[in-house]
Amino acid sequence: MKKPAFILILLFISISVKVIGQDKVEKSYPWSFSFSYSPKIDISKNNINRYFGDESYFVSFDHMIDHRFSKHFSFSFGVDVNKASTVINLQTYNGANYESENYSVKTILIELPIQLNYHFRDTSKVFDPYIKIAVRNGFFYQHTENYSSNGFDNYEGIRHFNFLEAGLGSYLKISQRVSFKYETSIGFGINYLRTNYFYFEGLIGLRYTL
């Protein structure tokens, strides 16, 4: 999966550079920033057989800085904070009596996305639709507490993962500086807790133009 992903990124960047060279637009475009709610849902075929804490749903908040550097192209970068918590109750029979175990798993996935967008229309329009491709550098932190008949234990771990996603989005201008922002994306883990990890991510938020 890694080789096709990087070939796709290089192809998209080369096309953007070529178009920018042909599009000799002297207009300068302002920077903007946005804050969005962006839940992430696991759509992998094997998501039923998840590990503890390998969540199928993350509550996410996305903070991005955007810059339109030509008539049709812009880039975005920022931070996406994903959170999930799970409580697992287990009860086993050892032949004499029942023993109980309770797991509390808290997961935080912090992603640093770098995103390239192709816009179909110029900034003067009310609707500004675009297609996107993004590489997301992620840091996965998990803290697990285990309460059992034998006592209490806890452990934590930090791991590094990478994701690639593509999708559609648009801005809906509601004033000269403020716009609604919404996106839908499909992504996969270039490397993650398990192979063949695919997810759907929705996004809705507000963008402010400087």
The residue with greater pLDDT, 96 or 1, is: 96
> One-letter amino acid identity for 174?
I
Sign of CA dihedral 14, 16, 22, 28: negative
pLDDT at position 114: 96
pLDDT at position 193: 80
Question: Structure tokens of 48?
Answer: 């039923």
Domains along the chain?
Answer: 2-13+32-209 (2.40.160.20)
- Answer for the pair 187, 162: CB distance below 8 angstroms, yes or no: no
Q: 152-206 pLDDT, tens per residue? A: 667 788 899 999 999 999 999 999 899 999 999 999 999 888 788 899 999 999 9
Nearest CA to 41 among 187, 163, 158? 187
Q: What is the mean pLDDT of residues 77-102?
A: 78
Q: 48-60 pLDDT, tens per residue? A: 445 444 567 888 9
pLDDT at position 15: 54
- Answer for the pair 9, 184: CB distance below 8 angstroms, yes or no: no
pTM: 0.76
Confidence band (pLDDT; 50, 70, 90) for 94? low
pLDDT at position 45: 74
Confidence band (pLDDT; 50, 70, 90) for 16? low
- 3-class SS of residue 164: strand
pLDDT at position 52: 46
Q: 160-170 pLDDT, tens per residue? A: 999 999 999 99
Q: Which residue has the tokens 């709610």?
A: 37
pLDDT at position 101: 73
**Side-chain half-sphere exposure of 185, counting CA atoms within 13 A:** 26
Q: Give the Cα separation of 103 and 101 in Å (integer).
A: 7
The torsion defined by the Cα of 192, 193, 198 and 200, in degrees rounded to 10, comes to -90
Q: 105-142 pLDDT, tens per residue? A: 889 999 999 999 999 988 778 999 999 999 999 999 98
Confidence band (pLDDT; 50, 70, 90) for 25? very low
Q: Give the Cα separation of 46 and 44 in Å (integer).
A: 5
pLDDT at position 203: 96
